[in-house]
Structure 1
Amino acid sequence: MGCCSVTQRHTGVDEVGPDEIELLELSGDNLGVWSLSENRVQLSVRNSRDEQQLPCTASVRHLEQEVVLWGRTRDELHHRIYSQQPIRGWEGQPAHVYGEVIHSSVVSLYNNYSEEQSERFLLLFPFHLLILSLDHSQEDFIYEGVLPVSGLSVQAVSLQLDVSHPTHMFEITSAMMDTKVFTCASAGESQRWIQHIEDRRYESMIQPMSPSQCALSYLLPCDENWKREELKKYLMQAPIWNWEGSPIHHMGQPGHISIVHIINTQRQGLQERLMILFPQDLLLLSVDSKRLQIKYEGRLARQSIKAVERSALPGRLEFELRGELLETLQVSCTCVEDYQAWIFHLQQPDRDSHIIMSQPPPPLLPKLQRNRKESQEPILAGDQCHINGRS
């Protein structure tokens, strides 16, 4: 009786034995194992499909590994900024607090006045846009500012600087700052910036920042000197809803700032306000309960208002703001220092005391009468001539 072999021959659908199947581990939906029911045609289709997907993945990885600045890739530059290495002029919270970098690139900032361009490195976070200038000699970043994207508007612009070399520009505008125009290396890069900023602005509308992502929640109440100074810097660049008039930095350098409570004469309730003193104006802002958003409430010209003390009783830190075109406002301070500062700045009896009003000179005597007096009193006449500056 003959022996029969139990080894499967290369016949049938696939011509591959069970020992060889174990060596065929391919990327697919079945945990990387090629099924016996899959023929060569299906295998070739899957291989060609995977080959088509590889260049896309590789291009993304290549983009991240591309040398961007000073021989470093984007990942290396991001890590340097995140690692809390000192960046010249840095203000505010550490970079990692702003979240993950959505997009970044080297661009050129166009100056509308001098028509010159200077390089900048932009980093877009989920809710903020960081602007850094470059010091190539030291291979170092210089901090220029952080802008909340919720208050920005972005659009493509074309200045036609050189017809033979078209520019790829976009501009960002805000009520809190002058328009900034950036030039990109390509049209695609400019469109990416526009799309990313628009997307993040929309996200900031439907998904507002949490208190941990907003510096305002850390700075209020501004009951310490360092908080006051940081809050002044924050207000000069933060979005302020319902803002009216020219950008806030055109109002000059902010002076005293504090939280006060205001009641009008009709007693419509106690209202918390953030009051900021500028050289020519007194600015009133409100803040929401979560300390995330600021709203414009109005501004008063300092020349048209005056603070009047209401009571000298202990603990009554109140004064009235009065003006010709202003309904009287009762202002209550939270501490003695704020009360004394506001009284000092707003209750000065003569706001024009810096203008020295000289006394008018005495009237000159008529010519005929002066001559007679000179003839009768020559010594006095000589003195009088010396005083009037005549010879």
Structure 2
Amino acid sequence: MGCCSVTQRHTGVDEVGPDEIELLELSGDHLGVWSLGESRLQLSVRSSRDDNQPPSCCTSVPQVEQRRNHAGVLWGKSREELHGRIFSQQPIRGWEGRPAHMYGEIIHSSLMCLHSKHSKEKREHFLVLFSFHLLLLSLDHTKQDFIYEGMLPLSGLSFHIIPMDNDSCQSPHMFEISSSMVHPKIFICPNAAELHTWMKHMKDRRHKSRTQPSSPSHCALSYLLPCDEHWKREELKKYLLHAPIWEWEGSPIQHMGPPDYVSVVHIINTHRQGLQERLMILFPQDILLLSVDNKQLNITYQGRLPRRGVRATEKSALPGRLEFELQGELMETLHVSCTCLEDYQNWIFHLQRA
């Protein structure tokens, strides 16, 4: 059987339309965002901080390094905590386009400064490198908020290190990005090692974006698994209702109603040896079983069970042995093992209630 898809798919992450590219521009002493929307060209000027508050931007690059060393990467948080915040659907001021997890994994990120050639102003930014895109976030230190400034496809970007001029007072460790649609932007890294890390990662990801384009749906699935956080489960429910599913049988998945619960489980039945990893999704009338390949790129239909004809029997709630059985008159007994106590308790609750 073939692949069943209910929505039109992009062929790659580099097919970015007007609603998916935000172009950055400098306007006077302020940072602005050029947005290609309905009016095709609109400028939304980002005002700087309150005039009475001294800017915390990179007037001195060592200040950034000091903040990194003594208080985490930013606001006392580690890089992993900041990535989790970006992915966890917490509102990022001014965010536009697809959810962050649709852009794939985060390859690298760091705090650095955007330097204006005209005003000589330096303002702190948090740069995030996804699989094939570069995300620019400005900062509101008072509220500890990110402010969305743009998402740029790497395939169309050029970048190079700006050599140090011994006769000038320019900051060291600088690189510039530009493209046919983006005016040059100069960023100052806190040290030489960070500069070379960015150059290495961006060159590598740009090459891969041109030679190995990846579908946005694949990026989404790989980041949503394992679905071990609430927001991942909620996003996975939405994703599965529109994802291509191989070897699908029966009525379309959209006709099964809204999913009640989803988790990764391991199943043993009487005819097969060993554990089989499955995505188990609970619908109002059915229990759906799906498999995911090792690269987390493709989903395959494995079957569905009617909720009304299935009963769940608890076997073990001990740590490391969170097991129950699914039994029914027209099916063989399935031994189900959960990966965490929360999943076990939710499945027992849903399947044993009247």
Greater strand share, structure number: 2
TM-score (norm 2): 0.42
* Relative contact order higher in (CA < 8 Å, ≥ 6 apart): 2
TM-score (norm 1): 0.38
Which one has a bigger Cα radius of gyration? 1
Greater helix share, structure number: 1
